[in-house]
Chain A
Amino acid sequence: MRALTWQGTKDVRVETVPDPQILNPRDAIIEVTSTAICGSDLHIYDGVIPGMRAGDILGHEFMGRVVDAGRGSSLRKGQRVVVPFTISCGTCFFCASGFHSACDNSNPVETQDATETMFGHAMSGIFGYSHLTGGYAGGQAEYVRVPFSDVGPIPVPDDLPDDQVLFLSDILPTGWMAAENCDIRPGDTIAVWGCGPVGLFAVQSALLMGAGQVIAIDHHPNRLELAASLGAKPVNYRESHVAEALMEMTGGIGPDAVIDAVGMESHGLAPDRLMDRAKQAVGIGVDGIHALRAAIHACRKGGRVSVPGVHGGFADTFPTGAVMQKGLTLRSGQTHVQRYMPSLLHRIAEGEIDTTFLISHRLPLEEAARGYEGFRDEQDRWTKVVLKTPAADWSG
């Protein structure tokens, strides 16, 4: 089959690799129709995610048809499914409690040691996201082996085209959980740093949850326009002083909750960001947390800080003082996709949520490398890239 493989920093190629097979009873093999490049794939592309090996197949947002199912799978051949990026067993304490992204049993034992050492506990398995999360082959390929296929993949009705449901795999529930972690009360002001796909879906979700106003912060004009079209008030940090603007837009109180939808490769103009970047460049490997610092600084006293952005290591000058003195609550985590999929699919089917506004580019899988380049280097215009395999129906 053909698959997008990581070869090194800023070097991804579509290559021919052997097809996957069923190995465990609960496995299924999915023939991918549509798969997307995620903003978090850019962290891998940029070489800031450790635990990558040349030849790894990327991609954790994908959907397609079941072509083979093990005896423990609940799927049937021919079923059309969207697959969550998190691999979850469904039976451990965490899965049973709805914390699917904290699954104890999906990261193979051999690859648990690294994150156990780094974070104190092992991460769960994730498709196409380094050997820290199992080294599972990802979905930017024609076929994928999907473990625990009785728990993860959600069947979707044939009348909903790929482009309407594909983002159930990651960014839609991730934006939703980011808003949920803000514990929104009617009339609240929510400030969102980053108008990438997750930030935009967080904007949409926060408004659905009853926020009074959502303020979206970025510097890409097109992305800010997309946020505005969803109902957010855009603030361009190249044009305005964000902290002052947020105070003035909230009557001197500050946002009730803030969302860091940027993560570890934060851009920005502030000196702290340059310091982070310099340390990343010389290989000290700290996370850039400029957006998170700014969000914590802006958040009102007793407010909530929600962090869907990907962070992977350690950060310097984390504002512990502001967190403690203002009594902030910090919530984060990889998304518990399985927890949110059914209700979000329902909202899509009911026409309450549209996800297709985000897609700027549809490319054949063969041109995936071009997709990475564009998504990284022309962020204003390339808001979301969907890759189509030969099995896809291009009408959507």
Chain B
Amino acid sequence: MAGRRALGWLILGGGIAAVAVLAWQSAQPPRGNRDSAPGRTARRTRWGEYAVTGHSVTIARPRAELYAFWRRFANLPQFMANLDSVAEEEGLTRWTIRAPMGRTVEVRTRIVTDQPGEVIAWRSVEGSEIDTSGKVMFADAPAGRGTVVTAIIAWDPPFGALGQMVARASGRAPGVQSRHELKRFKMLMETGEIATARRRPEE
């Protein structure tokens, strides 16, 4: 039950924040908005058992560079505020995510797609504390503006729809987190640092 509560507070930290819906998408017929808007912008945010969120950001750097930085998962805590650490073990990736009150949540994923310079997708495995999947895609932006990076994440919300509402109200919804993480990723890649208004390290 402690695990379930931790999930309730889960901040996917964006780490997982990039996680893919591929496997799940192929398992279900596409439903939702019937216009040209990306599915993740549909007014309906539940897709079967899963909540889905996703964001795009344009980064003025080449596709290959961004892919390479992201693919080295150990780099991700540099811009994912709630990601404590990432470790590779036995073909799986173990994500340790900070939760409130000094606790951590562990998610284990395996890569399901890896196309250099284009897409990385992954999905949680049996025994992971969270059932989630996601992907991050890299595409050339028009007019030489760099690369459009799109991260999509699907997860089985702890406590269902109610838990999702609570998470959203507390600003800890993965949707907000992933949007912030992508912006930090952009800052780091474009400027070499992440903006802060602090005046001293201890602030």
A contact set with B: CB distance below 8 Å: 18-21, 23-26, 72, 89-93, 96, 104-113, 125, 134-137, 145, 147-148
Contacts and interface: CB of A to CB of B under 8 A. Distances in A.
Nearest to A91: B190
A166 to B, nearest CB: 22
A355 B97 CA distance: 55
B184 interface: yes
B197 interface: yes
Closest 5 CB pairs of A and B: A20-B199, A24-B193, A89-B191, A134-B197, A136-B197
B83 to A, nearest CB: 15
B200 A21 contact: yes
B193 A135 contact: no
Contact of B199 (A18, A89, A90, A125): A18
Contacts of A20: 199-200
B190 A105 contact: yes
Contacts of A104: 186, 190
B192 A26 contact: yes
Contacts of B146: 93
Interface string B152-196: 000000000000000000000000100010011011001111111
A145 B190 contact: no
Nearest to A143: B199
A134 B200 contact: no
A339 to B, nearest CB: 18
A72 B196 CA distance: 16
Nearest to A26: B193
A145 B199 contact: yes
What DSSP secondary structure best describes chain B's contact surface? loop
Contacts of B201: 21, 23
Contacts of A145: 199
Main secondary structure on A side of the interface with B: loop
B128 interface: no
Contacts of B198: 23
B145 interface: yes
A107 B200 contact: no
A92 B190 contact: yes
A151 B182 CA distance: 23
20 contacts: A20-B199, A20-B200, A21-B200, A23-B199, A23-B200, A24-B196, A92-B60, A92-B190, A105-B187, A105-B195, A108-B196, A108-B197, A109-B180, A109-B194, A109-B195, A112-B183, A125-B195, A125-B197, A134-B197, A135-B197
Contacts of B192: 25-26, 72
Contacts of B186: 92, 104-105
Nearest to A20: B199
A148 B191 contact: yes
Assign chain B's interface to a size class: 20 to 34
Given A105-B186, A105-B191, A109-B180, A137 B58 contact: no
Nearest to B61: A91
Contacts of B190: 89, 91-92, 104-105
B63 to A, nearest CB: 16
Given A23-B199, A24-B193, A109-B194, 11 more contacts: A20-B199, A23-B201, A24-B194, A25-B193, A26-B192, A90-B191, A92-B186, A104-B190, A108-B195, A109-B184, A110-B180
A147 B58 CA distance: 22
Residue among A20, A105, A135 facing the most chain B CB atoms (10 A cut-off): A105
A134 B199 contact: no
A72 B191 CA distance: 10
B79 to A, nearest CB: 9
Contacts of B193: 24-26, 72
Contacts of A113: 176
Nearest to A106: B195
A109 B199 contact: no
A139 to B, nearest CB: 13
Contacts of B195: 24, 89, 105-109, 125, 134, 147
Contacts of A111: 197
A21 B202 CA distance: 10
Nearest to A57: B199
A20 B199 CA distance: 5
A1 B78 CA distance: 32
A136 B176 CA distance: 23
Contacts of B183: 109, 112
Contacts of A26: 191-193
Contacts of A91: 60, 190-191
A93 B199 contact: no
Contacts of B200: 18-21, 23
B60 A137 contact: no
Contacts of B194: 24, 108-109
B80 to A, nearest CB: 11
A137 B199 contact: yes
Contacts of A136: 197
A36 B195 CA distance: 25
Contacts of A106: 195
Contacts of B196: 23-24, 108, 147
Contacts of B145: 93
Nearest to A104: B186
A125 to B, nearest CB: 7
Nearest to A97: B145
